[in-house]
Amino acid sequence: MQLLIRAAHIVDAASSADGQVCDVLIENGLIQQIGTDITTPDNARIIEEPNLHVSPGWVDLRVLAQDPGFEHKEDITSVCRAAAAGGFTDIALLPNTQPVVDTKGTLGYVRRMAEGQPVSVHVIAAITKKAAGEDFTDMIDLHHGGAVAFSDGSHPLQNPDLLLKTLQYLQPIGGLLINRPEEQMLTRFGQMHEGVQSTLLGMKGIPAIAEELIVERDLRLLGYTLGEGHGAWDSDSSALSPQPPALHFSTISSARSVELIRQAKQRGLPVSCDVAAHQLVFDDSALASFDTNLKVNPPFRSADDVAALWQGLADGTIDAIVSDHTPQDAESKNLEFDQAEFGATGLETLFAAVVTYNTGLSLGQIIEKLTIRARQILRLPTISIAEGQSASLTLFDPAKQWTFDRSLSKSKNSPFLGQTLTGRAIGTVYQGQFHHVL
């Protein structure tokens, strides 16, 4: 099948066509030609839209599919449809299902269910059995079974000995450990960020220091394992120099966490991190509405923390932006605030949320966080808009205004429902097929 993308703005720092307006001809899943006024082949499908932009396919590093076990909230098919609608060609799934992805059998089930979907599904396997933080899984076996990284997902690793031994265990295979930093002894019964707003609203707070202590602990253990200066993650280059990160912090939320990771990178530690898109939009004052769709973990923090997250993205400290897509059914959210489950959906609104509330990032910087950086972290093959390359592409309009009033996710717990946003995916090219969003 042939596709011809007409007059698209190329957004790809790794491409010689970056910043140019070009036609892109795709045949049999490969980019055959990039140029201007390409002759339309017979029977080619033409893709032509006002203000059309194209980049390598977007990657989301943190998605909870809820399948197997909680398919009434989300299943593999519905999460892949939502991902494609959000402009993603690749998603990484957390292991927090029932059963947990802690054996090759469950890993194989997820991978089989992902076959034929409109996005590529990469499975993150659990570090400990049942993600309970006690006994190790067979990580080498899971690695050979196709796991792209290891994490207990929504369950932060509390035991420092487990984290240290995991770093040591994964070192020979160049594996990646992902941890969401939270000292849970400091966050029990917490509902929102600890501060003035939590006091005014009479809710138990989740202090930022609970995150920061674990970030500092994990960085010190990483330094102990590898030795300071044992190979740096170069935050100012699109290349890995000389090795990818051994430790990745997922969904950091505080200014101090950003600073700790910035200092670690300057010392040469192979570390990376991401931020959830909704953390860039809301601060803790938004919870005055007691809207349970705003109840997420980590919680929305202070305005100063939000500003520090944006600065971390701008200077390269924060490597990627994720959706932290956590679907919850109505029975889990239509409750009093302190009884509601944490989590929000975000696959369909990630790009629009970042563009709408952008505080100074260039379009190229935003796209880099969704493409080059994310692929490097997961050790995925490099993809660029160049002749002969695989055509895994996202087509989008960064200026398009639209109202998010319909979701393809089974769950509707989005803080953006009903809002008018700017920036929208138009479609994706995946395995030679064009998947239209609009």
The pTM (predicted TM-score) of the whole model is 0.95
Percent of the chain with pLDDT over 70: 96
Q: How far is CA 46 from CA 2, 4, 5, in A?
A: 9, 5, 6
Q: How many whole angstroms separate alpha carbon 410 and alpha carbon 329?
A: 8
Catalytic residues: 324
Average pLDDT over residues 412-422: 97
Residue for token digits 């990657």?
59
**Residue among 89, 7, 9 at smallest CA distance from 46:** 7
pLDDT value, residue 40: 86
User: What domains can be seen in the chain, in order of their start residue?
Assistant: 2-53+390-399+422-436 (2.30.40.10), 56-377 (3.20.20.140)
State how beta strands 30-35 and 21-27 pair.
antiparallel
pLDDT digits (tens, 9 = 90+) for 313-363: 999 999 999 999 999 999 999 999 999 999 999 999 999 999 999 999 999
Q: How many whole angstroms separate alpha carbon 122 and alpha carbon 104?
A: 14
**Residue among 276, 289, 284, 278 at smallest CA distance from 303:** 284
Q: How many whole angstroms separate alpha carbon 35 and alpha carbon 374?
A: 28
Respond yes or no on whether the N-terminal peptide bond of residue 298 is cis (omega within 30° of 0). Answer: yes
Residue 437: which pLDDT band, with cuts at 50, 70 and 90? confident
**Residue among 264, 256, 259, 237 at smallest CA distance from 246:** 264
Backbone dihedral region for residue 190 (phi beyond 0: left; psi -120 to 50: alpha; all else: beta): beta
Residue 399: which pLDDT band, with cuts at 50, 70 and 90? very high
Average pLDDT over residues 56-67: 97
Average pLDDT over residues 27-41: 93
Which amino acid would we find at residue 325? H
**Residue among 254, 413, 399, 426 at smallest CA distance from 325:** 413
What are the tokens at 398? 């960064």
pLDDT value, residue 226: 84
pLDDT digits (tens, 9 = 90+) for 221-245: 999 998 765 554 444 433 333 468 9
By CB neighbour count within 10 A (0-12 exposed, 13-18 middle, 19+ buried), where does 341 fall?
middle
**Residue among 76, 148, 83 at smallest CA distance from 345:** 83
Residue for token digits 């899943």?
29
Residue for token digits 């984290």?
163
Q: How many whole angstroms separate alpha carbon 211 and alpha carbon 250?
A: 11
- Return the C-alpha torsion angle 312, 315, 320, 323, nearest 10: 40
Average pLDDT over residues 120-141: 97
